[in-house]
Amino acid sequence: MLRLRPEMVDDGYQIGDEVPGRILHAKYSRYMQQLANIEPELVEQLAEKGARFTHHSSIAPTGTISLSLANNASNGIEPSFAHHYSRNIIRAGKKSKEKVDVYSYELLAYRHLINPKAMPYSDDPKAQLPDYFIAADDVTPKQHVDIQAAAQKWIDSSISKTANVPTDYPYEDFKSIYQYAYQQGLKGCTTFRFNPEVFQGVLVKESDLENTTYQFTLEDGTTVELKGNEEVEYDGELHSAANLFDALKEGYYGKF
C-alpha cells in the first residue's frame, strides 16, 4: 500500500499502521484525489464522516438500453456495433432464437434526411455511405482501449465496453491487448470475436453469417450445407441456419 501510495508516507503513515476506510477512500483513491481538485469540501466531508458507497460512478451496459429506449440512438462510449445487423431474440414457445433486423439511429437519420437508399457495404454507388460512417469493427482493439482509458480517468468503478475484433484479425496484433489495457489503468477489458464454431452472440452482422457455412446431417446420413443467413424450415418453424444450428447444438430439440 505504501509503495502504491507514496503520499501516505509523506503524511506520516508507516508499515503496520491502521487506516480508517473513510480516509483510504477519500484521501488516497486516485479517483477521489481528482475529485478533490474540483470539490475539495466534499472530499473533506467524506474523509471526516465516511460514505455509504465504496465507489462513486460507473458506465453501465448501453447497447440494450439504447435499443430499448431510444431506437438505437446512443451507445455511450461505444461506436455502433454495425449500421445494419441482426439481433437474436428469445420468443416464448419458439425453440430457436428469432433473427430481427436492427439499424443504427445514424443510418436511419441519414436515410430519412439525405439518401433513402443508403445501406452499408452496398455495391450500388448510389447507396453507399460516406467514409465517416464507421462501426465497432472499424476501430482497432487498441483504439477501443484508448477510448475506455479516457473515460476510466473519471470512473472509479467499472465500465461496460466491448472491443469488437474481426474474425480474421491477426493474432499478433491482438495478443497484447489485455496487457495494454492493464498499462492504461483499466479495471476491466472485454473483447468479442465472432466464432461460428461456438454459440452466437446476441448481436450478429449479416456479413459474418453470409460468410459462415453450417453443415446439417439428415436422418438418412446425407448432409446439407447452408449459409448462416439462409432461412430453413424445421419442425414447422422458419429459422436462420445459424440459429437452428445453435438450437440443435444446445439440445432444444433433444439429441441429434
Burial of 175 (0-12, 13-18, 19+ CB in 10 A): exposed
pTM of the model as a whole: 0.71
Same domain, 28 and 137: no
Does residue 202 fall inside a structural domain?
A: no
Same domain, 71 and 162: yes
Does residue 254 fall inside a structural domain?
A: no
Percent of the chain at pLDDT above 90? 33
Same domain, 217 and 100: no
Instruction: Determine contact, residues 32/153, Cβ cutoff 8 Å.
Output: no
Mode of pairing for the β-strands spanning 162-165 and 190-193: parallel
The DSSP element (H or E) to which 137 belongs, if any, is none
Does residue 86 fall inside a structural domain?
A: yes
Same domain, 32 and 98: no
Does residue 1 fall inside a structural domain?
A: no
Does residue 146 fall inside a structural domain?
A: yes
Residue 254 has pLDDT above 70, yes or no: no
Question: In the 8-state DSSP scheme, what is residue 120?
Answer: T
Same domain, 182 and 224: no
Q: Mean pLDDT throughout 63-86? A: 76
Same domain, 124 and 230: no
Q: Mean pLDDT throughout 170-192? A: 90
**Residue 24: pLDDT band by 50, 70, 90 thresholds?**
very high
Task: Give the whole-angstrom CA distance, residue 17 versus residue 150.
Answer: 34
Residue 38 has pLDDT above 80, yes or no: yes
Same domain, 95 and 160: yes
Question: In the 8-state DSSP scheme, what is residue 136?
Answer: G
Same domain, 78 and 15: no
Instruction: Determine contact, residues 201/165, Cβ cutoff 8 Å.
Output: no
Higher pLDDT, 120 or 205: 120
Does residue 104 fall inside a structural domain?
A: yes
| Long-range CB pairs of 208-213, under 8 A, 24+ apart, other chains included | 208/167, 209/86, 209/240, 209/242, 212/242
Q: Give the residue numbers spanning the domain of 220.
A: 209-249
Same domain, 140 and 219: no
Q: How many domains does the chain have?
A: 3
Same domain, 79 and 181: yes
The owner of cell 475484433 is: 165
Mode of pairing for the β-strands spanning 84-89 and 162-165: unpaired
Same domain, 67 and 181: yes
Does residue 55 fall inside a structural domain?
A: no
Range from 27-36, 62-71, 115-124 carrying the lowest mean pLDDT: 62-71
Residue 3 has pLDDT above 70, yes or no: yes
SS3 at position 73: coil
Same domain, 158 and 243: no
Q: 157-180: per-residue pLDDT in tens?
A: 888 888 888 778 888 888 899 999
Average pLDDT along the chain: 85
